[in-house]
Structure 1
Amino acid sequence: MNKEESSQHKHKHKHADHKAHESHNLLEHEHHEHHDHEGHDHHDHGGGHEHHHHGNFKELFLKSLPLGIIIMVLSPMMGVTLPFQFTFPYSDILVAIVSTILLVYGGKPFYQGAMDEFKQKAPGMMALVSLGVSVSYLYSIYAVVARYMTNEHIMDFFFEFASLILIMLLGHWIEMKAVGDAGDAQKALAELVPKDAQVVLEDDSIETRPVADLKVGDIIRVQAGENIPADGKITKGESRVDEALLTGESKPVEKNVEDQVIGGSTNREGVLFIEVEETGDQSFISQVQTLISEAQNQPSKAENTAHKVAGWLFYIALAVAIVAFVTWLLTEDLQTAVTFTVTTLVIACPHALGLAIPLVVARSTSLGASRGLLVKDREALEQAKKSDVMILDKTGTLTTGEFKVLNVNTLSDNYSEEEISALMAGIEAGSSHPIAQSIIAHSENEGVRPVHFDSIDVVSGAGVEGKANNKHYKLISQKAYEKEIDVEVPKGATLSILVEEDKAIGTVALGDELKPASKHLIDTLKNHGIEPIMATGDNEKAAQGVAEELGIEYKANQSPQDKYNLVEQLTNEGKTVIMVGDGVNDAPSLALADVGIAVGAGTQVALDSADIILTQSDPADIEAFLELSDKTTNKMTQNLWWGAGYNFIAIPLAAGVLAPIGFSLSPAVGAILMSISTVIVAINAMMLKLDKE
Structure 2
Amino acid sequence: MKHTHHHNHEGHEHDAHVHSAHSPDHSEHSHGHKDHEEHKRHVHHAYHEEQVEEGIHDAHAHHDHGDQDHHDHMGHGHHHHHGNFKEIFLKSLPIGLVILLLSPLMGIDLPFQFSFPYSDIVAAVLATVLFFYGGKPFYQGALDEFKQKEPGMMALITLGITVSYLYSIYAVAARYVTDAHPMDFFFEFASLILIMLLGHWIEMKAVGEAGDAQKSLAELLPKDAHVVVENDKIETRPVSQLKVGDVVRVQAGEIIPADGVIQRGETRVNEALLTGESKPVEKEAGDTVIGGSTNGEGMLYVEVTETGDKSFISQVQTLIGQAQNQPSRAENIAQKVAGWLFYIAVAAAVIAFIIWLFAVDLQTAVIFTVTTLVIACPHALGLAIPLVIARSTSLGAGRGLLVKNREALELATNSDVMILDKTGTLTTGEFKVLKVDVVDDHYTKEDITALMAGIEGGSSHPIAQSITDFAHKQGTEPVRFDSIDVISGSGVKGTANGHQYELISQKAYGKDLDLEIPKGATVSVLVENGQAIGVVALGDELKESSRELMQVLKSNGIQPIMATGDNETAAQGVAEELGIDYRANQSPQDKYELVEALKDEGKTVIMVGDGVNDAPSLALADVGVAVGAGTQVTLDSADVVLTQSDPGDIESFIELAKKTTSKMKQNLIWGAGYNFFAIPLAAGILAPIGISLTPAVGAILMSLSTVIVAINAMFLRLDN
Q: Classify the TM-score, shorter chain.
A: 0.7 to 0.9
Shift of 1:680: 2.6
Aligned to 1:209: none
Aligned to 1:208: none
Instruction: Give 2:358's match in structure 1, choosing from 330, 348, 365.
Output: 330
Q: Where in structure 2 are the equivalents of 1:83-162 lying within 5 Å?
A: 83-162=111-190
Shift of 1:270: 5.5
Contact 1:491 1:549 in 2 (8 A): no
Shift of 1:506: 1.7
Contact 2:437 2:535 in 1 (8 A): yes
Distance 2:618 2:269 in 1: 25
Distance 1:543 1:195 in 2: 29
Q: Could you report, residue by residue, the CA deviation over 1:618-676 in whole angstroms, capped at 9, with x for unpaired residues?
A: 21222122122212222232233223222222111001101122211101111121222
Aligned to 1:683: 711
Of the structure 1 ranges 384-393 and 307-316, higher mean CA displacement relative to structure 2 is found in: 307-316
Distance change in 2, residues 1:43/1:389 (3 Å): farther
Distance change in 2, residues 1:517/1:216 (3 Å): farther
Contact 2:671 2:706 in 1 (8 A): yes
Contact 2:221 2:291 in 1 (8 A): no
Verify: 1:301 aligned to 2:353, yes or no.
no
Distance change in 2, residues 1:410/1:258 (3 Å): closer
Distance 2:182 2:515 in 1: 95
Q: Where in structure 2 are the equivalents of 1:589-604 lying within 5 Å?
A: 589-602=617-630
Shift of 1:39: 11
Aligned to 1:29: none
Shift of 1:128: 2.5
Distance 2:307 2:646 in 1: 30
Instruction: Give 1:531's match in structure 2, choosing from 556, 559, 583.
Output: 559
Distance 1:678 1:259 in 2: 66
Instruction: Give 1:63's match in structure 2, choosing from 72, 82, 91.
Output: 91
Verify: 1:393 aligned to 2:421, yes or no.
yes
Distance 1:494 1:201 in 2: 37
Distance change in 2, residues 1:43/1:238 (3 Å): farther
State the secondary structure of the residue aligned to 1:668. helix
Verify: 1:242 aligned to 2:242, yes or no.
no
Shift of 1:201: 13
Q: Where in structure 2 are the equivalents of 1:264-663 lying within 5 Å?
A: 265=293, 268-269=296-297, 301-303=330-332, 305-560=333-588, 562-564=590-592, 566-587=594-615, 589-602=617-630, 606=634, 610-663=638-691
Distance 1:91 1:419 in 2: 94
Contact 1:387 1:578 in 2 (8 A): yes
Question: How many residues matched?
Answer: 645
2:501 is aligned with what amino acid?
Y
Q: Where in structure 2 are the equivalents of 1:188-267 lying within 5 Å?
A: 228=255, 239-255=267-283, 265=293
Distance 2:78 2:387 in 1: 19
2:551 is aligned with what amino acid?
D
Distance 1:540 1:313 in 2: 55
Q: Could you report, residue by residue, the CA deviation over 1:70-117 in whole angstroms, capped at 9, with x for unpaired residues?
A: 010121111222222222333222212222222222223323333333
State the secondary structure of the residue aligned to 2:418. strand
Distance change in 2, residues 1:461/1:575 (3 Å): same
1:671 is aligned with what amino acid?
A
Distance change in 2, residues 1:236/1:483 (3 Å): closer
2:437 is aligned with what amino acid?
N
Contact 2:225 2:257 in 1 (8 A): no
Distance 1:542 1:323 in 2: 70
Of the structure 1 ranges 446-455 and 665-674, higher mean CA displacement relative to structure 2 is found in: 446-455
State the secondary structure of the residue aligned to 1:397. helix
Distance 2:360 2:382 in 1: 35
State the secondary structure of the residue aligned to 2:389. helix
2:427 is aligned with what amino acid?
T
Contact 1:310 1:350 in 2 (8 A): no
- What runs of 5+ residues in structure 2 fail to find an aligned partner? 1-36, 42-64, 229-237
Distance change in 2, residues 1:498/1:638 (3 Å): same
Distance 2:711 2:363 in 1: 38
TM-score (norm 2): 0.77
1:350 is aligned with what amino acid?
P
State the secondary structure of the residue aligned to 1:109. helix
Distance 1:646 1:152 in 2: 32
Percentage of pairs with the same residue = 69
Q: Could you report, residue by residue, the CA deviation over 1:504-550 in whole angstroms, capped at 9, with x for unpaired residues?
A: 22221211101121111111112212222223332333223222222
Distance 1:489 1:317 in 2: 70
Of the structure 1 ranges 155-164 and 435-444, higher mean CA displacement relative to structure 2 is found in: 435-444
Contact 1:197 1:220 in 2 (8 A): no
Aligned to 1:28: none
Distance change in 2, residues 1:591/1:73 (3 Å): closer
Distance 1:58 1:648 in 2: 31
Distance change in 2, residues 1:388/1:132 (3 Å): closer
Contact 1:410 1:505 in 2 (8 A): yes
State the secondary structure of the residue aligned to 2:540. strand
Q: Could you report, residue by residue, the CA deviation over 1:41-71 in whole angstroms, capped at 9, with x for unpaired residues?
A: 2487779x98575222222111111010001
Distance 1:235 1:687 in 2: 64
Distance change in 2, residues 1:216/1:519 (3 Å): farther
Contact 1:467 1:473 in 2 (8 A): yes
Contact 2:242 2:307 in 1 (8 A): no
Contact 1:642 1:677 in 2 (8 A): yes
Distance change in 2, residues 1:313/1:477 (3 Å): same
1:178 is aligned with what amino acid?
A
State the secondary structure of the residue aligned to 1:395. helix
Distance change in 2, residues 1:170/1:565 (3 Å): closer
Distance 1:687 1:229 in 2: 52
Instruction: Give 2:194's match in structure 1, choosing from 153, 159, 166.
Output: 166
Aligned to 1:178: 206
Distance change in 2, residues 1:469/1:582 (3 Å): same
Contact 1:45 1:299 in 2 (8 A): no
Contact 1:242 1:266 in 2 (8 A): yes
Contact 1:406 1:510 in 2 (8 A): yes
C-alpha root-mean-square deviation of aligned residues, in Å?
4.5
Contact 1:136 1:346 in 2 (8 A): yes
Distance 1:505 1:349 in 2: 81
Shift of 1:461: 4.4
Of the structure 1 ranges 671-680 and 450-459, higher mean CA displacement relative to structure 2 is found in: 450-459
State the secondary structure of the residue aligned to 2:117. coil
Relative contact order higher in (CA < 8 Å, ≥ 6 apart): 2
State the secondary structure of the residue aligned to 1:405. strand
Contact 2:202 2:386 in 1 (8 A): yes
Shift of 1:411: 3.3
1:648 is aligned with what amino acid?
F
Distance 2:354 2:338 in 1: 24
State the secondary structure of the residue aligned to 1:423. helix
Distance 1:479 1:272 in 2: 27
State the secondary structure of the residue aligned to 1:301. coil
State the secondary structure of the residue aligned to 1:254. strand
